[in-house]
A = this chain, B = another copy of it.
Amino acid sequence: MSIRTSVYLVGLIGASLVSAQTFQRLGTCPTLGCIFPPDQTDFLAGQLFDIRLEIHAPLNGTEASNNGVPNETFSLCIQRGKEACSDVTKYFKISNSALEKWSFSYYEDLFAKDSGTPVVVNVASKAYRALSLTKPGTYTAKLTYNGGTTTVANWLVREPVTSRRAKNVLLFIGDGMTQPMITAARLIAHKSINGKYQSLMQMDQMDNLGHQMTHSVDSFITDSANSATALYTGKKSSVNALGVYADSSKNSLDDPKVETLAELFRRRRDGGALGIVSTAFIADATPAALCSHTRDRSQYASIVTEFLNNATTVNSTLAWPTSCQMPDVLFGGGAEQFIAGSGSPGGADYYKAFQAKGYTVVNNNTALQAAGTKAKTLGIFSSKPAKWIDRHVLRDNLSGLKNSPIGDGSDATDQPGLKDMTLKAIDILQARTKNGQGWFMMSEAASIDKMMHVLDYDRALGELLELDDTIRASIAHLKAIGEYENTLIVVTADHGHGFDVFGGADTKYLAAQTDDRKKRGAVGTYAASGLSGYTVAEGSLPNNNTIVYGSEGPNFPVQWNPRYAFAAGFGANPDHRESYTLNTKGPRVPAVSSSSGYVVNPTDNTDGFNVPGTIGVDEAQGVHSLQDVSVFANGPGSEAFRGVYSSVDIFFKIADALGLAEA
């Protein structure tokens, strides 16, 4: 009772409850009238977008309004600069839309959730599809409802850049990759003498450095779906949303869409080739966001359908006259969406569906390397992609996974790495581009994020070093084929994890202690952090787990499991146990489910000390963090990537380099 009272008290002083809370009625909509695209949206001139309007009438709770009956006679007018405000139908010369109605519920706070007392919100809505604004300048979209209440969205159509500077764009995304991780990767893979590195990461040597702010439209921590949406569309969105703003309707495929870089490039550059490469499954958020439009990133079948067709195919009621037009290259994992079965669109064999539309399909690295460059190519190499360390250092871990991309229960032992996929993709895009329109490729090192989630620092850094090696090899390859000077190369991340190295751990001493507090004494800080144990061979050191590696040449550790390892961690953890040794059996599983939520995995790091978590016990993994991520760029247009800016600016900078705006 006192809980409800306090909630009502909050309501009395206005909108403060919604300003920073755990649960929101609807992100991007602090008032009871909602406009998508919301206030503060920037557009590329000519970029397609949907408008969604919602009028909310909460039936109960601190914002209870009009007995839960939403106003149905709302209207939207659009105004450029100081011109008159015209009704949306007149402004865009479109007919009125049908009224839609639905309801949803949410909890106002954790107390309400515990007591099972949700707020019910009734909604009246309209949507207008596939619009665009071409004249640069400021716009006001004014929604009038409830007999005179207004909600205003200020939009900006940025001044179009008409001169194209880059023929090709190669966008590398290190998923979840932060500067502290890059620093740690440098530490383990590059030798230093008396504090001076003898070699550097390729990223360290890029011509231009920037930082981007990664937060969502409605939360300061983002996931990979909405951060990819920001990078590719220039619009901040909500957690789990791909190429749309998240509305409150039940249908996750009818949310207001925005046109992506890939769609714009295909629509505006006839003959431009498009490539999408990832070490994740190909329907995962970062590759998906280039071509997909859904509020729910887990709609994998829809996502694959949209790769092959377009948004209208997925939801035939919605006009969306732009698409990825079947990417020339699609390389990744995720056989589940292609093998006929419960994970594929309509249960069909989607390898065949792609072949029927002219794709060459390859399922292992040997076939990938042998494939020609003239056809569109789909490469799906596993159901669950292996990590760099397991592909290169601990190959025994490739056995028994039954992750064959053709679904025959065998192991995918011939998987290409990011470098293999990216270099081949360059060749295919080069061969397929027409009319001098060049190509656009996104290449993602996905498992930096996935391995940081499970606190598997070593595997995450292996993925990061593979990314760096891929950038290095791509630059060399572009130079060799004479395209380096024509190619804008951008390397960035979509969000962070709060990882950092804070010392060295004597793993032998740690394992030899029997008490957790004594084990912590193995962590050396400051001067006792010592030097990198990863860049020197320890040979026959009495450390059973010593793994000497060297066949990948420079830019990788000489060994991965030295006695003196780095000690690292996160502020945000599930319960786990820490020993700072390489997980030699495969990716780490830090926590397991129990009747009281996730607890330490009893088989993980059995020599280590317990570290109870700092986040909800319903979390099995670490979570994303706030920090700005780095941007590195070379090539034509790359000077624009200097300095500090929002994630959405990446879209505009790339679009400007390609001259994609309508002038």
Contact = CB atoms under 8 A, between A and B. Distances in A.
A182 B219 CA distance: 18
Contacts of A6: 508, 542
A615 interface: yes
B9 A542 contact: yes
A625 to B, nearest CB: 4
B504 A220 contact: yes
Nearest to A16: B538
A421 interface: no
Interface stretch (A124-132, A137-145, A203-211): A203-211
A625 B613 CA distance: 20
Interface string A520-532: 1111111111111
Contacts of A648: 195
A213 interface: yes
B525 A572 contact: yes
Contact of A179 (B195, B230, B627): B627
Interface stretch (A62-70, A256-264, A427-435, A494-502): A494-502
Interface string A191-232: 011111100100111111111010111111111000000100
A345 interface: no
A614 B520 contact: yes
A472 interface: no
A527 B611 contact: no
Contacts of A537: 16
Given A20-B536, A517-B617, A571-B568, A626 B501 contact: yes
A118 interface: no
B646 A527 contact: no
Determine how many copies of this chain the complex contains. Answer: 2
Contacts of A570: 500, 502, 569, 571
Given A236-B196, A532-B220, A110 B179 contact: no
Contacts of A562: 20
B10 A541 contact: yes
A469 interface: no
A23 B612 CA distance: 29
A482 interface: no
Contact of A528 (B38, B219, B236, B526): B219
Contacts of A642: 208-209, 642
A470 interface: no
Interface string A18-56: 011111100110000000001111000000000000000
A216 B527 contact: yes
A316 interface: no
A333 interface: no
A159 B51 CA distance: 60
Contacts of A9: 540-542
A210 B211 contact: no
Given A517-B597, A624-B502, A529 B220 contact: yes
A377 interface: no
A615 B502 contact: yes
A215 B200 CA distance: 14
Given A6-B542, A109-B509, A498-B571, A192 B215 contact: yes
A13 interface: yes
A616 interface: yes
A441 B187 CA distance: 33
A61 interface: no
B613 A612 contact: no
Given A193-B40, A196-B646, A626 B502 contact: yes
Nearest to A37: B194
A643 interface: yes
A195 B217 contact: yes
A463 interface: no
Given A19-B533, A179-B628, A498-B571, A39 B194 contact: yes
A1 to B, nearest CB: 14
Contacts of A617: 517, 520-521
A378 interface: no
A211 B187 CA distance: 15
Interface of A: 6, 9-10, 13, 16, 19-24, 27-28, 38-41, 109-111, 178-180, 182-184, 186-187, 192-197, 200, 203-211, 213, 215-223, 230, 236, 238-240, 496-504, 506, 508-509, 512, 516-517, 520-533, 536-542, 562-564, 566-572, 578, 596-597, 610-619, 623-628, 630, 642-644, 646, 648
Given A6-B542, A179-B211, 11 more contacts: A19-B536, A20-B532, A24-B527, A38-B194, A182-B628, A183-B626, A187-B220, A195-B230, A502-B571, A525-B616, A567-B572
27 contacts: A6-B542, A10-B541, A13-B538, A13-B541, A16-B539, A16-B541, A19-B531, A39-B194, A40-B194, A40-B195, A179-B179, A180-B628, A183-B627, A195-B215, A195-B218, A195-B648, A197-B646, A219-B527, A220-B531, A221-B503, A221-B527, A496-B500, A500-B572, A500-B626, A502-B570, A502-B571, A502-B615
